Amino acid sequence: MLILNAVINGLLFGGVLALMAFGMNLMFGVVQIVHLAYGQFIMVGLYLVYLLTVLYHVPLLLSCVLAIIAIALLSVLCYYSVVKPLLKAPPINQLLALAGLWIVLENACLAFFGATYKGVQVVLPVLHVGEIYIAASNLIGFGVGLITLGLLYLFLNKTYTGVAIRAVAQDTEVSGVMGINSRTIYLITFVVGGALAGVTAACFVPVYAVHPHFGSAFTLLAFIIVILGGMGNLIGGFIGAFIIGVVTSIGSTLLNPEIGQIIALLICLLIIILRPQGLLGVRART
Amino acid sequence: MKFMENFKKGTPLLILALLMICPFVFSSPYLLHIFILIFIWSYVTTVWSYMGRFGIISLGHGAFFGIGVYTTALLFNLYNVSPWLGMLAGGLAAATIAVILGYSCFKFGVIGHYFAIATLVLAEIITLVIIALRDTLETGGKLGLTVRSLGTSPLFFQFENKLIFYYLTLALLGLALLIWKKIDDSKVQRALKAVGEDEEAALSLGIDVVKYKTTMFAVSAFMTALGGTAYIQFTMFADPTTCTGVGLSLGIVFKAIIGGMFTLWGPTIGSALIVVLEEYTRLALGSAFVSYSQIIYGLLIIILIRFLPGGLYGTFSDLFRQKRKREVQVLLSGRQAADPYK
């Protein structure tokens, strides 16, 4: 029964993880950049919600929306200041510059908010069906995650901009020949990716209290999921999120939280070595 | 020209001699402390650059450093094993992990940023293992661990006098620079350089890429772990955020990048710069504002990567070299000049 409980909660948590990984995956697929500061964006989002609701008494939902907008703007700033000048640089330089951004954001939050845990007090009931207990906060996260992913699916498949984004992800040069300005698409991708980080932060509000080292764990988690599903493979990432959600949930229920994470990381390491293209990926022909 | 050549050869010896005398000129323990930190980090960064300069970027050296730190400290605290033996044990443990990970990565063609990510994952795993063993092995988890103090005990690598650590860490750094030179003169250097430039072409020339890369990775990991032992014996305190993990790994890479990882002195200069910067901002702003110094540090890294991708020392020595080369070419115009800098 304990395991069933863990599986169900893991699956629900997987919905939020899928959303989080989707943003990182989109940026990798389109801009070919590993966004190492992604978890820090989520952290900044959580801090903004805290700042607005607790200190300025803005209603919770409104402050979530404001935080999403702010993170999207932060993402645009990140694109212009860090990513755009390094588009032609070797991948390792891009990775390290974003790691620099990671340090800046983490310490800016530390300087601004201090090292203690900050959280919005939201009391949500725990539902139970028979002997299975489900936290309502997980259920909300799952719901919001699936709805957002559904909207993204429509955006990527039914609108001109969405199709252009997918075209750039497939082949930047040929899409240029078709009259798509890849720089504009990169910018739009960063706006969407940033907004996704914001939505993820909003889903995390009832679950977590935020602290300055909050982001790094989630950057790595998003990373693992993206690798698991294959970099740039959006459906693979979706499935990977649920696998990781369930594995960490079972691991931490039966043993302890660190063991759950270690197992997830070991799976990730094995995937990198044995199937670098990811579970669903196809090896690129060169 | 002859004088210049002699001067060039003599410079390292001159610097060494100056550093040997240094503690007698400035006897302030604080300055000694800073110098020791600079030596340790320069050593680790130089050792990291053994791989980095050939395009094998590891983001997991924090893990090897942490293995050195915790193996030594735990063997001593729990079983009373001398840290001199613990140093060896830590080095061998790090090298074993490097061989396992390196061999499987290189064998299956995991290169470039995939390799960087694999090592990053390793760094996180080691941190989590240390935290998870907080009770079973008394690693202290996130709260950190203190080494039992014996006062001064040469047999157990404990000295109250900082001067001994000064010379010890200076010797380590000297060793690392010497091995760098040895690598430069060996077949390994040419093989790995070819690999760094074009892996597939090197492979087709019959270079055993996997063997060379794995060896270099193992050597680098072994020596990084030795640095970890020196560090823990000096500070006598370790916790997972400063002694292992992703943050430390990135710190090593940044130091190498800022100094320039392709030159002998680059890593040393980068480390000295970062250690001094951190100390200065800490002193100038007070320890309550330590995060401001980190913000400056992060911004500096972004700016440097954007404008000076060759690193400080690398870029400036390149500029210097080009300028001098042009002068030589003007002087010898019309004649084929032998490259005077070979």
User: Which pLDDT value is given to residue B68?
Assistant: 93
Instruction: Count other C-beta atoms under 10 Å from residue B206's C-beta.
Output: 7
A209 or B8, higher pLDDT: A209
Domain membership of residue B340 (yes or no) is no
What percentage of chain A reaches a pLDDT higher than 90?
Answer: 13
* Cβ count within 10 A of residue B6: 10
> Distance between CA B291 and CA B285 in Å, rounded?
10
Q: What is the distance between the alpha carbons of residues B208 and B216, in angstroms, rounded to a whole number?
A: 13
pLDDT digits (tens, 9 = 90+) for B173-224: 989 988 888 888 887 777 777 777 777 777 777 778 888 889 999 999 999 9
Q: Check residues A279 and A30 and name the one with the higher pLDDT.
A: A30
- Residue A198 neighbours by CB under 8 Å, 6+ apart: A41, A45, A67, A68, A69, A70, A71, A72
Q: How high is the pLDDT of residue A77? A: 92
Q: B122 and chain A: CB distance < 8 Å anywhere?
A: yes
> In sequence order, which residues have a C-beta less than 8 Å from that of residue A13 and are 6 or more positions away?
A138, A141, A142, A245, A248, A249
Mean pLDDT of A90-108: 84
Signed CA dihedral, A80, A83, A88, A89: sign only: positive
Contacts of B294 in chain A (CB under 8 A): 103-104, 106-107, 110
Looking up tokens 């700016």 gives B303
Query: Is A134 buried (19+), middle (13-18) or exposed (0-12) by CB count in 10 A?
Result: middle
List the structure tokens of A16: 């939020």
pLDDT score recorded for residue A280: 64
Provide the number of structural domains found in chain B: 1
- Average pLDDT over all residues of chain A: 84
How far from the centroid of its chain's Cα atoms is residue A33's Cα? 14
pLDDT digits (tens, 9 = 90+) for B134-173: 877 777 777 788 888 787 777 778 787 888 888 889 989 9
Whether B292 has its CB under 8 Å from any CB of chain A: the answer is yes
Arithmetic mean of pLDDT, A252-257: 78
Of the residues A98, A273, A275, A277, the best mutation for testing chain B's interface (the one with the most B CB atoms within 10 Å of its CB) is A273
The shortest C-alpha distance from A179 to chain B (Å) reads: 30
The top-scoring range by mean pLDDT among A133-137, A164-168, A188-192, B153-157 is A188-192
Angle between helices A182-204 and A136-158 (to 10 degrees): 170
pLDDT at residue B261, rounded to an integer:
78
- Flag if A95 and B299 touch (Cβ within 8 Å): no
Do the beta carbons of residue B74 and residue B140 sit within 8 Å?
Answer: no
Contact B117 A108 (CB under 8 A): no
Averaged pLDDT for residues B98-106: 91
The residue count for chain A: 286
pLDDT of residue B334: 34
pLDDT of residue B309: 67
Contact B125 A256 (CB under 8 A): no
Read off the CATH number of the domain in which B162 is found: 1.10.3470
B175: which 2 tokens? 């060793």
Task: Please state the separation of Cα B65 from the chain's center in Å.
Answer: 10
Assess B113–A contact: CB distance below 8 Å, yes or no: yes
Closest CB to A111: pick one of B114, B117, B295.
Answer: B295
Identify the closest residue of chain A to B120 by CA–CA distance.
A220
Q: Which of residues 144-183 of B touch A (CB under 8 A)?
A: none
**B305-341 pLDDT tens trace:** 888 766 666 666 666 665 554 444 333 333 333 333 3
Q: Is B125 on the interface with A (CB under 8 A)?
A: yes
Residues 6+ apart with CB under 8 A from A194: A23, A41, A71, A72, A73, A74, A75, A76, A78
- Please indicate whether, in this complex, the C-beta atoms of B117 and A223 are within 8 angstroms of each other: yes
DSSP string of A29-44, one letter each residue:
HHH----TTHHHHHHH
Q: Are B128 and A265 in contact (CB under 8 A)?
A: yes
Measured between CB atoms, does B269 come within 8 Å of chain A?
Answer: no
Asked if the structure places residue B300 within a domain, the reply is: yes
Lowest mean per-residue pLDDT among A252-256, B135-139, B266-270, B287-291: B287-291
SS3 label, residue A160: helix
Minimal CA separation from B124 to chain A, in Å: 8
B170: domain range? 2-330
Q: Do A104 and B110 touch (CB under 8 A)?
A: no
Q: Are B267 and B255 in contact (CB under 8 A)?
A: yes
Region of poorest pLDDT, from A59-63, A143-147, B125-129, B278-282: B278-282
Contact A103 B301 (CB under 8 A): yes
Taking alpha carbons only, the member of B50, B42, B49, B2 closest to residue B19 is B42
Q: List chain B residues with CB under 8 Å of A218.
A: none
Interchain contact, B110 vs A96, CB within 8 Å: no
> How does DSSP classify residue A167?
H
Backbone angles phi and psi of B237, in degrees to 5: -140, 140
DSSP assignments along A104-145, one per residue: HHHHHHHHHH-SS-B------PEEEETTEEEEHHHHHHHHHH
Higher pLDDT, A247 or A93: A247
Model ipTM over 0.85: no
pLDDT score for B6: 63
